Amino acid sequence: MFITRIENGTMQLNLQPEMIEDIFREAIHHLGRNKRKHNISMHLEDDLLMANMDARLIIQVLVNLINNAIKYTPENSNISLNARRVEDKILIEVQDDGNGVLHPDQLFEMFYTENNRGGDTRRGMGLGLSLCKSIIQSHGGTIWVENVTPHGACFKFVLDAVEVKLYE
């Protein structure tokens, strides 16, 4: 299983410096038709934010997080992708203005789905967020979720920043 290969270190990561803006655009491009029913925006502190990553895996994390926001928020909800530098890390956020999450400490457990202790076929298998956690941890990062006031959820993860050197 894919998650097992990541967790036991047998999956080879193709780590390269990548522009966060490009990764955001690629993730949005891979979303399904339901993206049209929501307002998806990007906010980057700096156009030159870069992080070391396996791009295809981080795009998968973003697609999973955005699709969850689409699934658990009403039509016309706002979903924002945010990125900023925090010391030697890049903090990436996927925030929505839905109802928030009931059990933030359990969301990343395998087979857990919100409003349902075990996965079922209608709501999904409960593997998406567990996969996201495994991918981010394989990159040496951390991932978590916070409820947003007055309502909504914000999934956050950090990756190692790449120093951009501009030549004069």
- Under DSSP, is residue 106 helix (H, G, I), strand (E, B) or coil? coil
**CA 43/CA 97 separation, integer angstroms:** 16
Is the separation of the CB atoms in 39 and 54 below 8 Å? Answer: no
3-state helix, strand, coil in the chain (%, to 5): 30, 30, 40
Closest Cα partner for 89 from 62, 64, 57, 52? 52
Predicted confidence at residue 126, as pLDDT, reads 60
Is the separation of the CB atoms in 51 and 32 below 8 Å? Answer: no
For the chain, 168 residues long, the average pLDDT of each consecutive 10-residue run is 54 91 96 88 92 96 94 93 96 95 73 47 61 92 93 95 72
**CA 132/CA 67 separation, integer angstroms:** 12
DSSP class of 99: -
Beta bridge partners of 52: 17
Predicted confidence at residue 121, as pLDDT, reads 36
**CA 40/CA 55 separation, integer angstroms:** 20
Tokens of 34: 């339901």
pTM value is 0.85
Predicted confidence at residue 123, as pLDDT, reads 44
